[in-house]
Chain A
Amino acid sequence: MTALLGYFGIVLALVSAAALGLVGMAGVHDAGRVPRRYLDRSVWGLMAGSGLTMFALVAGLLVDDFSVAYIADHSATTTPAIYKVATAWAALEGSIVLWGLVLGVFTFTVYTRYRRSTEPDPLWVGALGIMGLISVFFFGIMATIANPFQVCVEAANIGCVATSNLPWASAMAPLEGPGPNPLLQNHPLMAVHPPLLYIGYVGMTVPFAFAISALIGGRSGDSWLRVTRTWTLVAWSFLTAGIVIGGLWSYEVLGWGGYWAWDPVENASFMPWLLATAFIHSSVVQERRGMLQAWNFILVISAYALTILGTFLTRSGIIASVHSFTQSPIGPALLWFLMVILVGSLSLFATRVHLVASSPRLDSLASREGVFLLNNLLLAVFAFVVLLGTLYPMFVEAISGDQLGVGRPFFDRLAIPLSFTLLLAMGLGPITPYRQARATVVWERIRTPLRVALAVGAGTVLLGERTGYLVLGVVAGTFVIGVIARQLWVTARQAAVKQGKPIWRSIGRTMRRDPGYWGGQISHIGVAILAMGIAISANQGMETQVTLELGQMVEFAGHEITYLEDFNRQEPNRNVLGARVEVTRNGSTLAVLEPRLNQYVRSSQPVATPAVDTSWRGDFYLSLTGIGGGRISLDVFWFPFIWMIWLGGLLAASGGLFSWVIRKPARRKVIPEEAEQSV
């Protein structure tokens, strides 16, 4: 039943997507040619089909319908409900279902917006057509090589042995499944992280589809940028939140005390983020000054291609070994799709760019545009470096068969200087006038924040901190925040004086009047806080390994830890074995932590769950490595101010949402020379 319902959803979505693709392409030059009801039906069909597919999968998981092989192989009756739902996207086939659903919803939101307009608009119709064609690919592989609703036709004691692609095949369901991967059912963040990331990934489809539609139709101007701005911001915000939550998950679950390892899966999400960030900035330059028109096409095509590359990297098995990815037909299918996207859109770009892009030249490097160009250069190089470091070992292995390691030292060496330069640009850019900036104006706006930042930096040094990156990070972060705070203060004070109101009342009003600019500044403050959090926790963090007897106390990083007792509790899906450890500071109790080992049913190795005590000073982090016979071994970490990373990251994400949610008051026509601040 589940299989039939789900497969029907896939077919409905596939047929509707194909229809949408045809209708959209028919109307890409002349939207009047296609009746609106065709669009209407195919979009509704895509939305309903993608929703039905996900509904069937989640419902099947919740009722333990093991006649579906995916459910039999990835879930268990004892799995808690939240992880049953999360299992819908925990494995390959299910993750494509989630991708399809998000794509369906985005297509639907684009169409809902289009329906508000009265005139047929070929740009929108063409973009909907492109989204339809992209959906054909994803629902096409769901219908064939990545079918999440394969029926289990031969059951083992646990899980499924043989499957059939036919949804009406007579099923033989096992009584129990092995349950999700222990790491994926060890923390509730795993239910949140993939959807956030996928909304970010798939959201980039919208600006991509509009860019392609503009190229095909030969439509110049920035309307494709302006109309997709909302979706770009939403996608960026969710991608940001998804990456940060992923780091938090790694920190809370994996027990090594880290949040970022430059591994290919993380890089796969970071590369599109870098280019999406570059795109948000460069689209401002095009909207304000008409520059970078061709570059924006390149950026949005590359950002979209990188989301597909990221999915290919994470889902094809190529990371484990270059030669393993052909074992599943999905890897090659994604690779072909990536090739079609790249070759198709780049040749379209090459043949038609003269129709759509003619950029004026730069007046002066010392201008807002100049800093934007620097920002784009740095972000693009950053993305390129990450791409190179991620793919290079694979190329070397594919060609010569030799293994080559490219890891943290390589990435750090390039990422640290790039990040510091970006922070500097972030401090200067938003207060630099367009066209041609006079040094006196810029100096007026940065001198006080600069002095404050230097004073904070000098204070840090005088307090005994001599770590270069830490001091630089604190100075740069304070500078960025200071410049923004001063700008807000000065602008709000002018408004307050003009209206004769107290300044604290005009701060909110000032920000709401220009949500694009101030949303960006909220994100900048977030990134500055995040950068300081990284600089402090990475350089002042401490780690030690201790073995404690029952009742024994040990001192570490200004805290005392005491091993109080063991505990052991049986839960439906796991056995939890842990220790109660008291953390005190100068004799007063801060927390009793419970680092533990979770032994999941049908899993050979126990999974360690670290316990963390967070205070404003930092995190005290305990990871249990061994327990038994009245003795425990612990990895103990102290990470000062690491909460700044999570706070900063989420603040950065909320800045994008601020720009989206806060409606701009009636759009005022501004001529570029006057356009000093608004973005």
Chain B
Amino acid sequence: MSEGVRKVITGVVTVALAAIVLVGIVVGDPTPQDRAQAIGSSIKCPVCQGEAIADSPSETATAMMEVVAEKVDEGLTDDQIFEFFRARYGDGILLDPPFGGRTLVLWLLPVAAVGAGVFMILGRRQKPVPVVDSEPGEHT
């Protein structure tokens, strides 16, 4: 087999493998979860320290998880269930802060931090210099 043919074959195989991986990722969910579990991981356990009701073994959390499961079975949407809990326990019960209002800073600061970092790194670059041709390293 000539060098050229082998290159083409490895190229095709690589692309095919990548395609399988991509299709697999696109077809499936990013993360499979029971809906009740997913909702429960966004509701704070009121008697614990910063734990979600899906994570806490406490009695209160278990009871609240049962309520979530019931609501899911009744066919309520995620938002309706969150609203149900918010009406009873207040805003603080939701662990996933909504975008906007008081949480604007919380969501925007990380983005600003990335921006500032990228800006600083780019600012430290100097004018392109000719490529250093001797690459040692692998001594191949």
Q: Name A residues whose Cβ lies closer than 8 Å to a Cβ of B.
A: 254-256, 258, 261-265, 291, 319-320, 359, 361-365, 373-374, 377, 380-381, 384-385, 388-389, 392-393, 396, 400, 402-410, 414, 433, 435-436, 438, 441, 444-445, 450-451, 454-455, 457-458, 460-462, 465-472, 475, 490, 494, 538-539, 543, 608, 623, 625, 635, 673-674, 676-677
Contact = CB atoms under 8 A, between A and B. Distances in A.
Given A263-B50, A381-B117, A469-B30, A460 B44 contact: no
A392 B50 CA distance: 13
A22 B57 CA distance: 52
A278 B92 CA distance: 33
Interface string B75-117: 0000000000000001111111100001101100110011001
Contact of A261 (B13, B52, B117, B118): B52
Given A254-B57, A362-B125, A410-B96, A475 B21 contact: yes
Contacts of B137: 433, 441, 676-677
Interface in B7-51: 10, 13-14, 16-18, 20-21, 23-32, 37, 41-42, 44, 49-51
Most buried by B among A384, A396, A400, A405: A405
Contacts of A625: 57, 62
Nearest to B131: A436
Contacts of B32: 467, 539
Contact of A538 (B26, B28, B31, B117): B31
A400 to B, nearest CB: 8
Contacts of A674: 136
Given A254-B57, A381-B113, A457-B17, A406 B106 contact: yes
B136 A404 contact: no
B135 A451 contact: no
Interface string B114-140: 100110010011101101101111111
Nearest to B95: A407
Most buried by A among B10, B135, B137: B137
A361 B113 CA distance: 22
B49 A319 contact: yes
A470 B29 CA distance: 10
12 contacts: A261-B50, A261-B55, A362-B125, A363-B129, A365-B121, A402-B102, A403-B92, A409-B95, A441-B138, A461-B23, A467-B31, A468-B28
A262 B55 CA distance: 11
Nearest to B37: A543
A392 B91 contact: no
Contact of B31 (A405, A458, A469): A469
B17 A451 contact: yes
A408 B126 contact: no
A102 B17 CA distance: 52
Nearest to A623: B57
Nearest to A266: B50
A186 B66 CA distance: 28
Nearest to B44: A405
Give me the 4 closest cross-chain CB pairs, A-B, nearest first.
A403-B92, A466-B28, A407-B95, A461-B24
Contacts, number: 196
A364 B31 contact: no
B110 A388 contact: yes
A676 B138 CA distance: 9
A396 B139 contact: no
B67 to A, nearest CB: 15
Contacts of A264: 49-50
A393 B92 CA distance: 9
A320 B49 CA distance: 7
A404 B103 contact: yes
A360 to B, nearest CB: 8
Contacts of B50: 261-264, 319, 407
Given A373-B121, A377-B121, A623-B57, A384 B113 contact: yes
A4 to B, nearest CB: 37
B106 A388 contact: yes
B93 A405 contact: yes
B94 A405 contact: yes
Nearest to B24: A461
A433 B50 CA distance: 44
B57 A438 contact: no
B31 A465 contact: no
B18 A404 contact: no
A674 B135 CA distance: 8
A364 B14 CA distance: 29
Given A264-B50, A362-B124, A438-B131, A468 B30 contact: yes
Given A261-B51, A405-B95, A406-B95, A396 B135 contact: no
A414 B27 CA distance: 23
A466 B131 CA distance: 43
Nearest to A393: B92
Contacts of B24: 457-458, 460-461, 465-466, 471
Contacts of A393: 92
Contacts of A365: 121, 125
A262 B96 CA distance: 13
Contacts of A361: 124-126
Given A445-B138, A460-B24, A363 B126 contact: yes
Contacts of B134: 673
Contacts of B30: 467-469
Contacts of A385: 110, 113
A462 B20 contact: yes
A673 B138 contact: no
A455 B114 contact: no
A407 B114 CA distance: 21
B49 A377 contact: no
Most buried by B among A254, A291, A359: A254
B33 to A, nearest CB: 9
A673 B132 contact: yes
Contacts of A364: 125, 128-129
A389 B93 CA distance: 15
B126 A539 contact: no
Nearest to A462: B20
Given A466-B29, A673-B132, A458 B102 contact: no
B80 to A, nearest CB: 18
B57 A255 contact: yes
Nearest to A376: B117
Contacts of A469: 30-31
B20 A458 contact: yes
A451 B20 CA distance: 13
Contacts of A461: 20-21, 23-25
A400 B102 CA distance: 10
B97 to A, nearest CB: 6
Given A377-B117, A384-B113, A258 B95 contact: no
Nearest to A538: B31
A671 to B, nearest CB: 11
A28 to B, nearest CB: 31
Contact of B21 (A409, A435, A457): A457
Most buried by B among A454, A457, A490: A454
Contacts of B23: 461
Most buried by A among B21, B113, B121, B136: B21
